[in-house]
Structure 1
Amino acid sequence: MSRYCSQCGKSLKACICQWIQSLASNVELIILQHPSESKRPMGTARILTLSLPNSYYFEGEDFSQHSELNQLICDPQVRHFVLYPGEGSVEAQASMSHSEEKIRVILLDGTWKKAFKMWQLSTNLHDLPLLRLPSELKGNYRIRKAPSDNALSTVEAGYYILSILQPEQDFSPLIDAFEKMIQFQIDQMPAGVFEKNYRS
C-alpha cells in the first residue's frame, strides 16, 4: 500500500485533498514546474492543478521544444501571457480580460534562481507579453525562507492573477487550502522550531 496520495502526491498523513475545492475560471493557467520543485513536500503548485480543472501542468527546465506547450501557445484563439517581472512587464489589470478572447497565463514554478534559468532557456516564451503583480502584495509562505516580503508562492501568485483578471469570481479557496496546508506542517513541528527558524 502506497504511503502517498494518488491525487495530490503528498504523504497520506499530509494529504491536502480534503481542503481542495474545484473552481471555475475563464482564465486558464499553465504551470511550468522546475524538476526540483516536484519533489518538495511543501510545493504549492499542486493546489492550483487540483483546484482548476482547466489548468495545465508541465515539468521541465527548458521548454523551448516542448510540443504540448508550443501547441497551446500557437493557438490563435487564445492570448497568452507570462507572469514574470522581467523587462517590459506590465501590471495585471481587470481590463485585460474584458475582451471575448480567451486568456492563458503561464506561471514559472521554482525558486527565483530556478525560475530565472527556466525563463532564460525557454526562448519560446520570450515573444509573449509579460505580466507582473502589484508590488505591494505580501506573501504568507511562513515555513519557507523568502528573498523578500513580496515574494509569493506559486499558489499565491495564481490566486492573485486570477482574482485581478476575474474580480467577479471568488478564488479564496486556493488561499484557504494553502493556509491549512501550512498550518498542518507547523503543527507537526517540535515545540519552538517554528518560532526559532521562521519567525523574525
Structure 2
Amino acid sequence: MSRYCSQCGKAHKVCICDAIIPLNTDIELIILQHPTEASRPMGTARILSLCMPETTRCFVGEDFREHAELNTLLSEPNVSHYVLYPSDASIEVTQIAQRPTQTIRIILLDGTWKKAFKMWQINTQLHHFASLHLPKDLAGNYRIRKAPDSNALSTVEAGFHVLRVLRPQQNFTPLLTAFDHMIDAQIQHMPPGTFERNYRQ
C-alpha cells in the first residue's frame, strides 16, 4: 500500500483531501510548473487543481516553446490570456476586472523566483500577452517555506487573489482554507522544535 494519497499526492498522515472544497468559476488557470516544484511535498499548485479541476490545467516543464497542447490553447480565438508575472510593463490585475467579459485565462509560473524568471525568459511566446501583478500590499502566509520577503505569495495564494479580484461576487476562501490546513498538518508532524528553529521569525 502506498504511503501517499492517490488524490492529493501527499503522505497519508498529512493528506489534505478533507479540506478540499470544489469551486466553480469561469476564469481558467494554466499553471506552468517547474519540474523541481512537481515533487515538493509542500507544493501548493495542486490545491488549485483539486479545487477547480474543470478550469485548471497544469503542465510541468521549463521550456514550453514546443509544447503542442499549451500553444494550441494559447492560440485559441476569443480568449484573453494574461500572465501573472510582475515586470516593468505589467499592470495591476484590478485594471482588467472591468473589461468586457469573454473567456479569461490566467497563466501562473510555479517555481521559485529565480526559476520563474528563467521560465519567463525562455518562453518568449508568453511575451505576446499582457502581464499582470497583484496589489503590492498583499502578504503571504507560506510560513513553512523560506520566502524572499513578506510580499512573496505561494502559487495558491496568487491564484486566490487573482480570482478574488476578477470575480468578487464569488467566495474563493476554500483555497486558503486548504492551504492553511496543509501548513498546519505539516507543522504538527515536524520533529519538536523544527518549525521554531527553521521558520519562525
**TM-score bucket of the superposed structures, by smaller chain:** over 0.9
- Structure 2 residue ranges without an equivalent (≥5): none
Q: CA RMSD in A?
A: 1.1
Per the TM alignment, residue 98 of structure 1 is displaced from its structure 2 partner at its CA by 4.6
Partner residue in 2 for 1:118: 119
- Residues 127-164 of structure 1: CA distance to partner in whole angstroms, max 9, x if unpaired? 11000000100000001000000000000000000001
- Residues 9-58 of structure 1: CA distance to partner in whole angstroms, max 9, x if unpaired? 11122211111011011111101100000110000000000101211110
Which 10-residue stretch deviates more, 189-198 or 113-122? 189-198
Partner residue in 1 for 2:12: 12
Per the TM alignment, residue 79 of structure 1 is displaced from its structure 2 partner at its CA by 0.2
- TM-score by structure 2 length? 0.96
Partner residue in 1 for 2:64: 63
Contact 1:90–1:131 (Cα < 8 Å) also in 2: yes
Q: Does 1:178 align with 2:179?
A: yes
For residues 180 and 96 of structure 1, the distance between their equivalents in structure 2, rounded to whole angstroms, comes to 30
Contact 1:97–1:166 (Cα < 8 Å) also in 2: no
Partner residue in 1 for 2:148: 147
Partner residue in 1 for 2:107: 106
Within-5 A mapping of 1:157-196: 157-196=158-197
- TM-score by structure 1 length? 0.97
**What SS does the corresponding residue of 2:18 show, helix, strand or coil?**
helix
**What SS does the corresponding residue of 1:142 show, helix, strand or coil?**
coil
Q: How many residues align?
A: 200
Partner residue in 2 for 1:134: 135
Q: Does 1:52 align with 2:52?
A: yes
Contact 1:94–1:164 (Cα < 8 Å) also in 2: no
Per the TM alignment, residue 94 of structure 1 is displaced from its structure 2 partner at its CA by 6.6
State, as a whole percentage, how many aligned pairs show the same letter. Answer: 59
